[in-house]
Amino acid sequence: MSGIGGQGVQLAAKTLAFAAIAAGLEVMVFGTYGGSMRGGNTDVDMVVSSRPIRTPPVLDSAWAALVMHHENWVSVRAKLQRGGLALIDSSVFRADFGLDGVATVPVPASALAKDLGAEQAGSMVALGAFNALARLVPHEGLLSAAGEVLPPYRSQYIEANRRALGAGREAVADVALPGWAGAMESVL
44-91 pLDDT, tens per residue?
999 999 999 987 767 889 999 999 999 889 999 999 999 899 999 999
Segments making up each domain of the chain, as ranges: 2-187
Nearest alpha carbon to residue 124 among 3, 6, 13:
13
pLDDT computed for residue 182 by the predictor: 45
Edge-to-edge strand list for the sheet holding 103-107 = 26-33, 41-49, 2-4, 62-67, 80-89, 103-107
Q: How far apart are CA 7 and CA 135, in angstroms?
A: 23
- The CA-CA-CA angle for residues 185, 88, 78, to 5°, reads 75
Pick the CATH number of 2-187 from 3.20.20.80, 3.10.450.200, 1.20.1530.20, 3.40.920.10: 3.40.920.10
Note whether 20 and 29 are within 8 A (CB). Answer: no
pLDDT computed for residue 188 by the predictor: 44
**What 3-state class would DSSP assign to 66?**
strand
pTM of the model: 0.91
Give 156's contacts (C-beta < 8 A, 6+ positions apart): none
Average pLDDT score over residue span 26-51: 84
